[in-house]
Amino acid sequence: MGKHKVIFDTDPGVDDALALYYLIRHPQIELLGVTTVFGNASVADTTRNARFLLRSWGVSVPVHAGAAEALTPDMPSEDYPTHIHGTNGLGDIDIPDPAVEERDTAARFLIDQVRANPGQIRILAVGRMTNLARALQMDPEIADLVGDVVIMGGAFRVPGNITPAAEANIWGDPLAADMVFGADWHVTAIPLDLTTRTLINRRELQAIADKGGPGMQLVADLSQDYIAFYGQAGFDGMVIHDCCAAVFLTDPDLFRLVHGQVRVLWQGIGLGLTIMNPRDRKGPNAEWDGLPLQAYAQDGDVDAIITRIAQVCGQE
């Protein structure tokens, strides 16, 4: 079997950085490009960060800047989560390059890659869904031409991490997320239901870096404040949300999925709430009828997921 052709849509972001490292080190993954979005920091910062990471690792793949704001109308104002990801988005490690505003070419890049590789592209989206939704708006036919879409996002049976209702990536552009779940492509969400149980503590992270060398050491260095934040929040280590979703690309058997149609609330106090209509539910479903069946990971083999990350990122 050939390699998985992946486009990574991301807002680096500390856990995004680990996921990006995982993608470039995985022997079965061919990373075709990176598209960036605002979220953990401004899009100028997240784009600069993606380029900085790839250059530091000696990897040359295209990086396309994407959305600077949500599609959802009347979004509440928000501050970037500097207390989690640092003011520069990468744990305030030293980054020599300035962040500059760039033209938004992410949606166009996604469309062009999908059309050039029909049925083959796997999109891994671990930030707000704005770039994906914009690509669907610009060229709805791509839904049929994408291999599948894997996202880190949602909180289906657990409280959110940004409001009681919502997970941050979905909350940040809930209308875009509703469009992504409603499009006629295969979406698998890796939500907080699972990701908040995938943890790597300081000692384990350093052990992976000791084996993996300078590239992984950079990830460990930029993760230190993030680990401290999660420690104060009661977690024994860093929550590796985005890398957990990356593992799904090649190891779907480690995840237990449930299927149904998904809607996202994009107004009111439930802004960003993800609701699945399970496929075996009987009864009227006016707001869900006709939508495609999607999936989310309700559970998974947490130890095996962490072991896989340690194997891939801890290679010399």
Residues of this chain that interact with ligand BDR (CB under 6 A) are 13, 15-16, 40, 81, 126, 152, 161, 167-169, 241-242
User: Exactly one of 18, 37, 44, 126 binds Ca ion (CB under 5 A); which one?
Assistant: 126
Let me know: does 297 contact 256? Beta carbons within 8 Å: yes
Question: Facing residues of 278 across strands?
Answer: 260
Catalytic residue among 45, 64, 241, 242: 241
Kind and range of the H or E run holding 200: strand 199-200
The distance of closest approach from Cβ of residue 203 to Ca ion in the complex, given in angstroms and rounded to an integer, is 24
Q: 77-94 in b/e burial notation, b at 16+ Cβ within 10 A?
A: eeebbeebbbebbbbebe
Let me know: does 162 contact 115? Beta carbons within 8 Å: no
User: Exactly one of 6, 7, 9, 13 binds Ca ion (CB under 5 A); which one?
Assistant: 13
Q: Compare residues 32 and 239 and give the one whose CB is closer to Ca ion.
A: 239
Q: Under rule CB under 5 A, how many of the chain's residues touch Ca ion? A: 6
Which stretch, 16-24, 43-51, 64-72, 291-299, contacts Ca ion (CB under 5 A)?
16-24
**Which entry of ligand BDR, Ca ion, none binds 261, CB below 5 to 8 A by partner kind?**
none
241 is catalytic: yes
Which stretch, 3-11, 44-52, 200-208, 283-291, contacts Ca ion (CB under 5 A)?
3-11
Q: Compare residues 119 and 159 and give the one whose CB is closer to ligand BDR.
A: 159
| Residues 236-255, interacting with Ca ion (CB under 5 A) | 242
Residue for token digits 């996921």?
Answer: 19
Catalytic residue among 9, 11, 45, 104: 11
Q: Compare residues 152 and 254 and give the one whose CB is closer to ligand BDR.
A: 152
Helices (H) and strands (E) in the chain, counts: 14, 11
Dist CA 89 CA 147 (whole Å): 30
Let me know: does 10 contact 16? Beta carbons within 8 Å: yes
Which parts of the chain fold into alpha helices (H)? 14-25, 43-56, 82-85, 106-116, 130-138, 142-145, 168-171, 174-182, 192-195, 202-212, 214-222, 224-232, 241-250, 302-313
16 forms part of the interface with Ca ion (CB under 5 A): yes
Q: 120-143 in b/e burial notation, b at 16+ Cβ within 10 A?
A: bbbbbbbbbbbbbbbbbeebeebb
Q: Provide the phi-psi class of 104: left if phi over 0, else alpha when psi is between -120 and 50, else beta.
A: beta
| Contact footprint for Ca ion (CB under 5 A) | 11, 13, 16, 126-127, 242
Provide the annotated active-site residues: 11, 241
